């Protein structure tokens, strides 16, 4: 599958986000939208697309697009699999305090 780089975005879609994503009706409650990913590659592709949009807007957008970049960055940051990556660190990265806990894979 050949990919095409993102070269533009819809300002109207961002301004009218409520017509695309169901937002909470309560004024002071946080907006929560559950997003499901099939695997880490799927998640990485989604975050990568958001970061590419930020990059393009940052380089080619108008000065007033800084808020759009900040909002996209906030979404991407919230999508990062923090707990999963912390687990992978603990599973695979040997530190001075955990070196005795590691087992050679061939001995398993």
Do residues 7 and 49 make contact, with C-beta atoms less than 8 angstroms apart?
A: no
Q: Identify the pLDDT of residue 18.
A: 67
| Tens of each residue's pLDDT in the chain, 108 residues | 566 666 666 666 667 666 666 655 556 666 677 778 888 888 888 899 989 888 888 887 777 788 888 888 888 888 888 888 878 777 777 777 766 667 776 654
Do residues 23 and 66 make contact, with C-beta atoms less than 8 angstroms apart?
A: no
Domain ranges of the chain: 11-107
Instruction: Note the pTM of the prediction, 2 decimals.
Output: 0.53
């Amino acid at each position: 599958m050949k990919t095409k780089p993102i070269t533009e975005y819809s300002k109207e879609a961002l301004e009218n986000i409520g017509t695309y994503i169901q937002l909470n009706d309560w004024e002071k409650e946080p907006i929560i939208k559950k997003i499901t990913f099939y695997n880490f590659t799927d998640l990485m592709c989604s975050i990568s697309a958001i970061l590419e949009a930020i990059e393009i807007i940052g380089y080619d957008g108008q000065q007033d697009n800084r808020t759009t970049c900040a909002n996209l960055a906030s979404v991407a940051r919230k999508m990062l699999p923090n707990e999963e990556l912390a687990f992978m660190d603990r599973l695979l990265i040997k530190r001075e305090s955990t070196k005795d806990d590691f087992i050679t894979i061939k001995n398993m």
